[in-house]
Structure 1
Amino acid sequence: MTNTELDATIRINPTSWNLGFHYDQAQLRPAPARLLTVAGQGSIDEHGALLHADDMGAQMALAVANVESLLAEGGMDLRDVTRLVVYVTDMDAALVSYGALVERLAALDATPPATLLEVARLAVPGMCVEIDATAGR
């Protein structure tokens, strides 16, 4: 391998069904100099209050905005995410609302490996989506 190949992210997608959701099935990246771990982010404002109770679409949009804000504080963006996990309390509603996340990923041509997982409940009553991430640069 050349140095250029060692510095580049290799996207691994043996099939293409996942591309519409804007994530890769796997990625091979060089080891980052810095690693940022982002705790689960929900539709929480700067005072810790839940916004948009039981509104999956609005919560998805604000949760990803909160993730992006923390990434920016760490000098990164969604292209630097190496692992994205989205926890939801209603899979059907999440699939309808997933476009809010895909839109942000597509805007940066980011395709992090991602997992969408339905859970019985989240920490705050009325919270229906929480997103955590790992990023490196």
Structure 2
Amino acid sequence: MTDNRTIINPADLHDPRPFGYSHIVFAPGETVYLAGQYASDADGQVAVEGFAAQVELSLENLRRALTAVGLGFENVVRLGSFIVDHDEEKLAVLNKALRYTWGERLPAQTLSGVATLALPGMLVEIDAIAVRPAP
């Protein structure tokens, strides 16, 4: 699929790319909302331990959800990331995974540090908004 997103990082704001996001992203088309994805197995249980492994599986599950509706990572315009006991080390891990996934064309993102998530053992959850290109 073609990346139809327009990404703007205004010069009078800091460069957000080293932090794993873009300030503004928009695209023409139908908006698709994806629920928070986490490191779940086929039964909805946390499948792996460790923050980096959970980030990787969460993004893989997000890819699967996007694929189910005929979209890909290039269609994502916004992420919401929720991290248990957020710190700079976890931010670096997440940032590395996001840059691997999106390169320099990062979606907009809001990261929230939280005390806990829905299930015991969940360390990260990532939701997304994507845009299906206009015909």
The question of a shared fold, defined as TM-score above 0.5 by the shorter chain, is answered with yes
Equivalent of 1:58, from 50, 53, 65? 53
Equivalent of 1:47, from 31, 43, 55? 43
Which of these two proteins has the greater Rg computed from alpha carbons?
A: 1
Q: What's the secondary structure of 2:77's corresponding residue?
A: strand
Q: Which residue of 1 aligns with 2:34?
A: 38
Runs (5+) with no aligned partner, structure 1: 1-7
Q: RMSD across aligned C-alpha pairs, in angstroms?
A: 1.7
Q: CA deviation at 1:102?
A: 2.2
Q: CA deviation at 1:42?
A: 0.4
Q: Which residue of 2 aligns with 1:19?
A: 17
Runs (5+) with no aligned partner, structure 2: none
Equivalent of 1:105, from 83, 93, 102? 102
- Answer whether contact 2:83 2:124 (CA < 8 A) is retained: yes
Q: What's the secondary structure of 1:117's corresponding residue?
A: strand
Alignment of 1:3-18 (within 5 A): 9-14=5-10, 15-18=13-16
Between the two proteins, the alignment pairs up a number of residues equal to: 125
- Answer whether contact 1:71 1:77 (CA < 8 A) is retained: yes
CA distance in 1, matches of 2:80, 2:40: 17
- Answer whether contact 1:22 1:105 (CA < 8 A) is retained: no
Q: Deviations over 1:72-122 (max 9, x none)?
A: 11111111112110100022142131112321122xx54211111101100
* TM-score normalized by the length of structure 1: 0.81
**% identical aligned pairs:** 34
Q: Which has the higher strand share?
A: 2
- Answer whether contact 1:86 1:129 (CA < 8 A) is retained: yes
Q: Which has the higher helix share?
A: 1
- Answer whether contact 1:42 1:66 (CA < 8 A) is retained: yes
1:86 and 2:81 matched? yes
